[in-house]
Each structure stands twice: as C-alpha cells, then as structure tokens.
Amino acid sequence: ERYSVRRLPFSRLSDGDVAFFERLMPGRVVTDPEELEPFNVDWLKSVRGCSKLMLKPQTTAEASQALRYCYERNLAVNPQGGNTGLVGGSIPVFDEIILSTVLMNRIISFDKVSGILVCQAGCILEKLNEYLEEQGFIMPLDLGAKGSCHIGGNVATNAGGLRLLRYGSLRGTVLGLEVVLADGSALDCLASLRKDNTGYDLKQLFIGSEGTLGFITAVSILCPQKPKAVNLAFLGCQSFAKVLETFTTCRAMLGEILSACEFMDEKCMELVKRYLKLSSPVTGSPFYVLIETSGSNTTHDEEKLNNFLEQAMTSGLVADGTVATDDKKIKARGTWFIWISLIHQMLWSLRERITEALTHDGYVYKYDISLPVGKLYDLVTDMRTRLGPSAKNVVGYGHLGDGNLHLNITTESYSCSLLDAIEPFVYEWTARYNGSISAEHGLGFKKKQFIQYSKPKEAVFLMQRFKAMLDPKGILNPYKMLPSS
C-alpha cells in the first residue's frame, strides 16, 4: 500500500508499434519475456516491472526517432543504463517501454592536453577508466557498481561514490551533455570547454534528473590525471568520536593528497567476512577507517602519510592499522607491483562489497543520507535502540569525507510493521538535523513521496513545472522522483 500507484492513461503497446521499432532498429528490439526478465527487475530484487518491449538504439538519431514515435503515440518510456540503481528508478513500474543505452558504448574522443573525454551514455564506468589509465588519466568518479553501471546512468542519478572527496561531484566534472527530449528533439549541449558563460547552464537540469526530463545519449567529462603514487591506510578506532577526530587530523595533515576517507562499523566487517570470505588485516575494533592518498610524488606522499599515522597512533586515535604504500621495490620488480595492487584491491573490497554482503543477510532496507559529519553515526545508534530484536542487523558505513551515511537494516524477510517503525522516523530524524534523505542514490520510485523532508514545497512545485514544460505528456520515467502533482 505504501508504494501503491495507479497506471496513468498511457497507450498500450500494439503490434503496429513493435513493427515500427523493428523497422527502425532491426535486431535490436527485445520482446521475448524471458530475455526481458533481468531488465524488469532491479539489482536488489526489490521492485519489478512488466515491460513487454526493450529498445537498444546505437545512435542519438535512433533514440530521437524512437522517442518522437512514443511521444506521438503517448507510450510511456523507461530510460535504463546498467540497472544498478538502489531506489527503483531504472525499472518500469507498469509496462513502460525500456529504452536502453546498452549499445551506445562508443568513445567519441579524448583530448590528452585538456583531459576531456566525450563518449556515448552506455559506456561502462570501469571500461572508461581502463581506457583512460592507458592514456595516463582516470575517471573522476568511482563506485562499487563500476563493472556494470553506465556513465549516462551515473550522470542521470548524479552518482557520488568513492572519489567525490577529491574530485567533486558530477555537477562540476560534467562539461556537456547530449540529450533527447520527450518529444524526440535532440539537444546538443556537448561542450568540451571548462568555461562557458553563455546563458542558463542547461546540462545541470539533466544531471540528477533520473531520466524524468530527457534521455542522455552522450557525455563530455573532465578527467584528472592518473596519480603516480597511491597509498592506503586501513585503521581501527575504538569509538565514533575517535573516527571523527581521525578524519579531521587526516584532512589537516594530508591536505591535497587525501582522495578518499571511508568508514564502516564492525558489523559490516563481520558480514563481509561471513558471506564473502574476505578477511580484514585489522580486527577487534568497533569502527574502521579507510584512507586513500593520491599524488604525484611517492616520497612526499609516504612521508605525509607516515607523519599522520604516527600522530594518530601516539595520540590514541587509532588502536590498530595496516598500510599499503607504493614501495620503491615496485619499480625494480614487476611482481611487487602486482602484490601491492592486490593489497590495494583487497582493502578496497572490504569497503566496496559491503552492499553485496548485506544482500546475503536477508531483506535489506537501505537509506542513503547526508548529515552534519558529527551526527553521522547517531542515527545508526538511535535506529538500533528503536528496532531492537525486530531487526536482524542495523549497520552504518559510508563516505566520511562528505558526511554521507549508508544506513542498512536487514531482516529475514520483508516486514510491513518493521518498515512502519523505520519510515518516516528515519526521514524525520534526518530533517531535524537539516540533512538530505538522499545523498547520492536519488529518489527513484521508493523515495519520491518523501522529498518534502529535504525540499520546501515551493522547490517541489518548481520541479513539477520543469517536468511539465519538458515532458508535457509525462511519458519519461513516470511514477519516479517527483510526488504525484
């Protein structure tokens, strides 16, 4: 009942419609229910649609013709990238046509002088990173789903992730977009300029709009140079107060080389070990902090990191820790490089695979919240007290560097009464401290009715007006992001 929604009066798919699409993109129209199944269900297996058709355009022109036809026929459309979202935003609610970027995976250009990459929206994040690393650059974002998420979906949801502390959000690194609007018209704002002060910054409307205002077909993005020296420290802290103090100390002492600062509680580590058989080199602490530095000078970076670690250990902030540094032996022997890379990978896996471990623990209620950093863990503690034995596990982890908490609650199976105990309490708690109910996952289908906890009604009304102007028939990703007007 909480998520009950009525199908809006869109047209139903006809044989004539299917025939048109098959003429438009032969061999790239999917109607087989079995083949459609994985695209009708989200990664968490928590929401399911019943789309009868998926389109796989390869070019902007094809996407444009498909959308123009849908607009004229009043057929609802669900834009979809890698389908790794966590709020039900990339899945049809009813029988919307899935418009997929899966075949729009071409790199258009890369400028080694400016570091500007232009690519189609269906490029997989990890593949882009691999391509750039060969050129001496990296993508400005990194997240656990990198092996399957698409850059267009990342932009549409304004994905945050693990590098935001260092390189900022996509709102700053995306320089231009190509977008097909609801009526099929293509908007080419694919600028490759750092500075362009001519008129309204239209691309910002589409970044974070979750496919409700347009279908992103190409992206121009500013990529930083690949750091020459990357070091990791994995530390154990005895209290969250010490976690916070460790963060303020590392920010002050590591300065410009600090690229990530993540935290997780002992419950997270327990689940990662139990379900994924990953073992941590640091044990016996209630909290853990993962710190990454990225710079251009190995000696300089290691010296800064060692000074910080010495300070953290002697002042009692850190109880235990391990470090993986780019040792000089790497240059002499290739096997050392592989060994160091594996340690880096292992330490990052402890943080990146928490989401995966949680899915093995039962049904997961997921919350992605921004709070003043001092309040970050209080919500976890309060929620544990509130739910008591009715929850299996209540865990907290996230991006310490930008005050982003991932609060996850697991139970054996879905329970309405438990959800009633969590919501709206979790949103009221967040609003009380002027936090955001979605730091990076978006609102999608699951959270759209709670937007008022983070935005005033005037702002929501203005968003609804933008939607009505750009998509007057409401065919693009209906039932998502905005509450029913």
pLDDT band at 324 (very low <50, low <70, confident <90, very high): confident
The domain that contains 256 carries what CATH number? 3.30.70.2190
Residue range 344-402, pLDDT digits in tens: 888 999 999 999 999 999 999 999 999 999 999 999 999 999 999 999 999 999 999 89
Does position 326 have pLDDT exceeding 70, yes or no?
no
Predicted confidence at residue 332, as pLDDT, reads 36
Residue 1 pLDDT > 80, yes or no?
no
| More confident call, 55 vs 193 | 55
Residue 159 within a domain: no
Per-residue pLDDT, averaged over 47-70, amounts to: 98
Q: Is the pLDDT of residue 262 over 50?
A: yes
pLDDT of amino acid 136? 96
Q: Among residues of the chain, what percentage have pLDDT more than 90?
A: 89
Cβ atoms of residues 18 and 53 within 8 Å: yes
Least confident interval from 41-50, 62-71, 460-469: 41-50
Report the pLDDT value the prediction gives residue 2, as an integer from 0 to 100. Answer: 64
Cα 56 to Cα 365: distance, rounded to the nearest angstrom: 32
Tell me if 124 is assigned to some domain. no
375 and 303 share one domain: no
Domain membership of residue 83 (yes or no) is no
Classify residue 84: in a domain, yes or no.
no
Write down which residue in 312, 330, 356 finishes a domain. 356
In sequence order, the β-bridge partners of residue 29 are 55
| Lowest-pLDDT choice from 105-109, 192-196, 208-212 | 192-196
User: Which of 327, 356, 385 is the last residue before a domain boundary?
Assistant: 356
The pLDDT of residue 330 is 36
Statement: residue 120 has pLDDT above 70: yes
Single out the residue in 329, 356, 383 at which a domain terminates.
356
Helix (H) or strand (E) holding 320: strand 320-324
pLDDT at 328 over 50: no
User: Does the pLDDT of residue 242 top 60, yes or no?
Assistant: yes
Is the model's pLDDT at 329 over the cut of 60? no
**Domain around 398:** 362-454
The pLDDT of residue 327 is 52
Q: What residues contact 300, with CB distance under 8 A and at least 6 apart?
A: none
- From the list 46, 53, 51, 50, the residue with the least C-alpha distance to 3 is 46
Question: Tell me, what CATH number does 367's domain have?
Answer: 3.30.70.2740
Mean pLDDT of the chain: 94
How many domains does the chain contain in total? 2
Q: What is the pLDDT of residue 336?
A: 41
Tell me what pLDDT residue 344 has.
83
Query: What is the structure's pLDDT at 345?
Result: 86
The band of 283, judged by pLDDT with boundaries at 50, 70 and 90, is very high
Q: What is the mean pLDDT of residues 272-278?
A: 96
Strands laid side by side in the 404-411 sheet: 320-324, 229-237, 287-295, 258-265, 393-399, 404-411, 363-370
